[in-house]
Structure 1
Amino acid sequence: QGRMTVEDFISKLDTGADAKAAAKLSEKEPFGVLVIGGGPAGVAAAIYTARKGIRTGLVAERIGGQVLDTNAIENFISMPYTEGPKLAAALEAHLHEYEIDVMKAQKVASITDEDGLKKVVTETGAELRAKQVIIATGARWRRMGVPGEEEYRNKGVTFCPHCDGPLFKGKSVAVIGGGNSGVEAAIDLAGVVGHVTVVEFLDTMRADDVLQRKLKSLPNVDIILSAATSEVVGDGKGVTGLTYTDRETNESKIIDVEGVFVQIGLLPNTEFLDGVVDLNERKEIVISDRGATSDPAIFAAGDVTTEPYKQIVVAEGSGATAALGAFDASIRG
């Protein structure tokens, strides 16, 4: 399905491939800018720095990031419709239009200082060095962890109401989560789909009062509290229902839906950044309006940052901003 790359296959076939690749990568000369992450933000950042004539490297697990796991994309401006794997392929093709050293199948483990440079070490042991670093490692959706969730992912289970809401026009859907993101998603979806059921684990919703009032004013929305989602049900082709346990009566119930929007939070990929740059309470990288972080040699972009809107088109703009911010800092510093 395109989720494994050539690098993945080689790694599985040759148990010594990782060590060999790491040794080869460690021989590279220092980069002017090293971009960490291969999603829309990372690709945009790398292209922008390369266009400035900076020696640019990009290190990532895969090119495309979360885009690869997205089915239909209808809100990428200038492109009425595309699919995740196609957009990811276009991102990679654009990368190769420039002299960018692309290093795939590499996950970064740490960033430290060494002789006036940033030393970036990957989990395979490769050591890369750069004058500046742009972090664009993205985020991942928090999963429910129930049967059927993975089986029906992109077959009814989705994580992006802005991206996939129109695909469920006139249909019944469930939104999992009663926080701000869940309630905002339900309000958004109510204007598109036939019916929305919000399923919240706690006995009260945590969203802001103004959002709750708006949600409760909508005629095609139901709210179920004290509900522990237990299974996503389907017919093999798509979602047909959602099973939950009433936490007050311990009774198992099912609702008929064709879509399940999981809105229980994003987890930014910043596990390797504790003590490196300032993070907020959600572990997102705190950035300025130029993509700068608390470390003058490190910039950041996209879903991994405090940028509030996690969208492909926003991530690309964020990547360009971080690249221009890094360039501006280099010529002034």
Structure 2
Amino acid sequence: MLDANLKQQLSQYLAMLREPIELVASLGQDAKSAETRELLTTIAGLSDKVTATFDGDDARKPSFIIRRASDAGAWVRFAGVPLGHEFTSLVLALLWAGGHPPKVSDEVLAQIRGLEGSFDFEMYFSLSCHNCPDVVQALTLIALNNPHVTVTLIEGGAFQDEVEARGVMAVPAVFLNGEMWASGKMSAEEILAKLDTGADARAAAKLAGKDPFEVLVIGGGPAGASAAIYTARKGFSTGLAAERFGGQVQDTMGIENFISVPYTEGPKLAAALEQHVKEYEIDVMNLARAEQLIPAKELGGYHEVVFTNGASLKARSLILTTGARWRNLGVPGEAEYRTKGVAYCPHCDGPLFKGKRVAVIGGGNSGVEAAIDLANIVGHVTLIEFDPKLRADQVLQDKLRSMSNVEIIVSAQTTEVTGDGEKVNGLSYKNRETGGEKHIELEGVFVQIGLVPNTEWLKNSGLALSPRGEIMVDEKGATNLPGVFAAGDATTVPYKQIIIAMGEGSKAALSAFDYLIRNEAPAEIAQAA
């Protein structure tokens, strides 16, 4: 099951164990149970600190518990075989159970250990989902550090009947105490914020106690990281406040056009950005969602940003890099059936539609790439494009047209996503040339129709926005407000690409530097008066 290279890597990791751990498996007579037995036997054979037993009695088979030998009360259970994207999650679970310290702050660990109440989590993942590992690892960390939290991590492909019975049509999907609790990518901090009722107030107090920055970057994607690094290198006190560090890059799978890096993946690039930011004295404030911008009243004065938790931060200069999110169809049924057949990530949710009929909405590169990926998994793909022709690169179109289980419909306006009250059962569209309406029976709809800027919070600030809601910037990244700059997918700069966002972030930072050295600080203004 594990090749020689993986065994060698795993052996090196297991050498880091500080205390013994136990693997307790519940197995059946099926092939997956045999794979689980082989995997656990291999792991136990690589370290004298690991023991594996196969006398568990859990109803889910195959499944296995990982626990510290000295503390059977803190454990995490994997149901299925956690390989693929989840191999790293398995390794971390082994290390953390064995006393190897996690790479999180003491503050986060204290918050985990201080959680009050009992929490029984079940989380469904797929082995091809690049968003799932973060949630798997976050829940694992919490379970292994708080005996009042139990976590069962379920590979959906191994428990298809259970997935269908519970109506799980998108991963990651998290149930708490038997009820659907959350879906989508979440960090440990985000999970704790939902569980810990006092977390928001503590975060607000922490923000409120900070001194004004010379530069405050709002947004933690490629543009924001680049801007913060450039201003920090200039010696300015720099803060970076982000709702989620990494931004939409965290939801991107293959990246093949980042010059000098032939291939990488979004989460890997986001982790590299975060590590680079940590090389400088940048005050990173995660889980901070901006709600209002209050511009400075005088040239060189302090701008203020108010956050949803009620706290605010001040800075002489702002760089807005709030990025964009997937655009919704905006048709009846889309919101009602989100995570019940309506999906936005083919890599994450595609395996849940194995052998089924699905539609992809959108004929650009993202849509065509999604249709190609899905055609290798599902039974049939119908690609629906609003324009008279596809807009994707020709090489992608050629690949799509070569696939036998794909139908392409152009000049089609999606009018409704239909369902039976529980899940999607079809899609209606209008032929834009004839006006005729048609209905397709299917079980999944993947939306890939572009981006919308995250700028709603700026609408009453006096900042100039385009009709599409993008922040209007000049060739230097400057907005119409002195001292306020912007970069990346939230702006009017064309071509929403990672490498362009990084360049624009650097440019905005250099413009902020030029602004700051040419304008007096508020204290100097007061002294002059």
Check whether TM > 0.5: yes
Q: CA contact under 8 A between 1:169 and 1:192: conserved in structure 2?
A: no
1:252 partnered with 2:460: no
With 55-64 and 72-81 compared, the bigger mean Cα shift is at 72-81
Q: Name 1:204's counterpart in structure 2.
A: none
Q: Name 2:207's counterpart in structure 1.
A: 25
Q: Name 2:52's counterpart in structure 1.
A: none
Secondary structure in 2 matching 1:193: helix
1:178 partnered with 2:360: no
CA distance in 2, matches of 1:151, 1:288: 33
Q: CA contact under 8 A between 1:74 and 1:163: conserved in structure 2?
A: no
Supply the AA of the counterpart residue of 1:16: G
1:105-144 alignment runs, 5 A limit: 105-113=287-295, 116-144=301-329
Secondary structure in 2 matching 1:92: helix
CA distance in 2, matches of 1:319, 1:90: 16
Q: CA contact under 8 A between 2:346 and 2:446: conserved in structure 1?
A: no
CA distance in 2, matches of 1:173, 1:132: 49
Return the offset for 1:12.
2.2
CA distance in 2, matches of 1:190, 1:34: 43
Supply the AA of the counterpart residue of 2:268: K
Supply the AA of the counterpart residue of 2:496: K
1:24-173 alignment runs, 5 A limit: 24-113=206-295, 116-144=301-329, 145=334, 147-150=340-343, 153-154=346-347, 155=349, 161-162=364-365, 168=372
Figure out how many residues of one structure are paired with residues of the other and give that number. Answer: 299
Percent identity reads: 45
Return the offset for 1:106.
0.7
With 169-178 and 45-54 compared, the bigger mean Cα shift is at 169-178
Q: CA contact under 8 A between 1:170 and 1:195: conserved in structure 2?
A: no
> Structure 2-normalised TM-score?
0.51
Secondary structure in 2 matching 1:185: coil
RMSD of aligned residue pairs (Cα, Å) = 3.4
The structure-2 alpha-carbon separation of the partners of 1:327 and 1:195, relative to structure 1 and needing over 3 Å to count, comes to farther
CA distance in 1, matches of 2:345, 2:472: 34
Structure possessing the higher radius of gyration over alpha carbons: 2
Cα displacement string for residues 212-241 of structure 1 (whole angstroms, at most 9, x for unaligned residues): xxxxxxxx9652435536379xxxxxxxxx
The structure-2 alpha-carbon separation of the partners of 1:152 and 1:132, relative to structure 1 and needing over 3 Å to count, comes to closer
1:322 partnered with 2:500: no
- Of structures 1 and 2, the one with the larger relative CO (CA 8 A, separation 6+) is 1
Q: CA contact under 8 A between 2:383 and 2:408: conserved in structure 1?
A: no
Cα displacement string for residues 279-332 of structure 1 (whole angstroms, at most 9, x for unaligned residues): 010010000111000001100000000011111111111111111111112223
With 10-19 and 34-43 compared, the bigger mean Cα shift is at 10-19
Return the offset for 1:95.
0.7
CA distance in 2, matches of 1:140, 1:303: 9
1:14 partnered with 2:196: yes
1:310 partnered with 2:503: no
Return the offset for 1:71.
1.6
The structure-2 alpha-carbon separation of the partners of 1:34 and 1:170, relative to structure 1 and needing over 3 Å to count, comes to closer
Q: CA contact under 8 A between 2:242 and 2:288: conserved in structure 1?
A: yes
The structure-2 alpha-carbon separation of the partners of 1:227 and 1:297, relative to structure 1 and needing over 3 Å to count, comes to closer
CA distance in 1, matches of 2:261, 2:499: 11
Return the offset for 1:113.
3.6
Q: CA contact under 8 A between 1:159 and 1:262: conserved in structure 2?
A: yes
Which 5+ residue runs of structure 1 have no aligned equivalent?
Answer: 197-219, 233-241
Q: Name 2:400's counterpart in structure 1.
A: 193
Return the offset for 1:277.
0.8
Q: CA contact under 8 A between 2:240 and 2:284: conserved in structure 1?
A: yes
